[in-house]
């Protein structure tokens, strides 16, 4: 791996784009065949529950989907909310009309966040188009396929719908923002693809329907909304071999999740300000020394994928 030292942070020693492979025996030979067969059996057994979940309202379908995930991949989520005792967590889970910035490492992140949310959800990702940052909104299936296919690293984000009016498009929804713009192996927080300018504008538009505009921000926007916005961070940690810093086939990933089981550790922070540097530090548990350098960004990952990614698929 010496040839990939260009993608290893000099300060922390972390290589955020290197995948964590599962045991070779799980995906080769007779054991791999058995894992595929077991997954097929699990999927067949869940068909009645899936059909029921598809025709019932969210209040009923969400528990059903959780049961389906438990059957298929032993779904388990452990939640910790900063400053909140476990018995009081239910009232402090993500709620509508609030913004949460989340780290990005797996196609299953959308399901983990949906199960946590009290209400409908929106998944927003910053896309870089011709050096300009645009925030797009993804459905569940778009999020999963976007993540498995390296997302905007392969320019797959160009046709996704942009959030041009957050106050309208995100009203009454839990808004999850994946500010890194691309996946990592979860060992650190990548430099954000989202710029402070685009972020302030997004927050300002998100809150102008309910907050008056009066003061000027440092970015040039008059955004009382941005300055007073309630932003929290959510750090998700999944099994290392289920992170997808590189492209993975859908069926291979599903077999991998079914074989290993899925365990998430979720930590929700106290509200932080709109400053992206502060938000990124919060995602790293408040320790800025755990962050990789700004050179390990989206463009760096594109170069990494060209040199290494295709050999791992």
List, in sequence order, every beta strand (DSSP E) within 34-171.
Answer: 76-81, 99-102, 121-129, 132-138
The rounded distance, in Å, linking the Cα atoms of 310 and 313 is 6
What are the Cα distances from residue 225, in Å, to 222, 229, 278?
9, 6, 18
Residue by residue, pLDDT tens for the chain (313 residues) are 556 677 899 889 999 999 998 888 888 889 999 999 999 999 999 999 999 999 999 889 999 999 999 999 999 999 999 999 988 999 899 999 999 999 999 999 999 999 999 999 999 999 988 788 989 999 999 999 999 988 776 665 567 888 888 878 888 999 999 999 999 999 999 999 999 999 998 988 766 544 443 333 333 333 444 555 679 999 999 999 999 999 999 999 999 999 999 999 999 999 998 999 999 999 999 999 999 999 999 889 988 988 875 555 5
The rounded distance, in Å, linking the Cα atoms of 213 and 225 is 7
- Total-model pTM: 0.89
Name every residue whose Cβ is closer than 8 Å to that of residue 15 and which is 6 or more positions away in sequence: 1, 4, 7, 8, 9, 185, 187
Backbone angles phi, psi at 161, to 5 degrees: -70, 130
The rounded distance, in Å, linking the Cα atoms of 139 and 237 is 22
What are the Cα distances from residue 21, in Å, to 24, 112, 180?
8, 22, 22
């Amino acid at each position: 791996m010496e040839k990939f030292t260009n993608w290893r942070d000099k300060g922390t020693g972390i290589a955020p784009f290197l995948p964590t492979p599962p045991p070779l025996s799980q995906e080769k030979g007779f054991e791999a065949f058995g894992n595929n067969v077991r997954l097929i059996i699990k999927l067949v057994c869940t068909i009645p529950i899936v059909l029921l979940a598809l025709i019932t309202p969210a209040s009923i379908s969400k528990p059903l989907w959780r049961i389906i995930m438990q059957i298929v991949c032993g779904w388990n989520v452990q939640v910790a909310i900063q400053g909140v005792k476990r018995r009081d967590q239910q009232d402090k889970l993500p709620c509508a009309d609030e913004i949460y910035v989340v780290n990005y490492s797996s196609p299953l992140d959308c399901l983990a966040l949906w199960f946590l949310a009290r209400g409908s959800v929106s998944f927003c990702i910053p896309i870089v188009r011709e050096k300009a940052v645009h925030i797009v909104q993804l459905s569940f299936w778009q999020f999963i396929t976007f993540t498995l296919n390296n997302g905007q690293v392969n320019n797959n984000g160009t046709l996704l719908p942009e959030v041009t009016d957050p106050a309208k498009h995100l009203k009454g929804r839990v808004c999850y923002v994946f500010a890194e713009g691309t996946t990592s192996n979860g060992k650190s927080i990548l430099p954000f693809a989202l710029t402070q300018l685009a972020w302030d504008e997004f927050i300002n538009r998100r809150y102008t329907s309910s907050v008056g505009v009066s003061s000027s921000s440092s970015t040039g926007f008059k955004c009382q909304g941005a300055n007073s916005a309630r932003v929290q961070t959510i750090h998700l940690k999944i099994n290392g071999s289920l992170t997808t810093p590189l492209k993975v086939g859908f069926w291979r990933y599903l077999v991998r999740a079914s074989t290993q089981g899925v365990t998430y550790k979720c930590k929700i922070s106290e509200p932080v300000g709109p400053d992206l540097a502060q938000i990124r530090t919060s995602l790293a548990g408040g320790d800025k020394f755990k962050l990789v350098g700004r050179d390990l960004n989206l463009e760096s990952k594109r170069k990494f994928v060209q040199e290494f990614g295709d050999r791992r698929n």
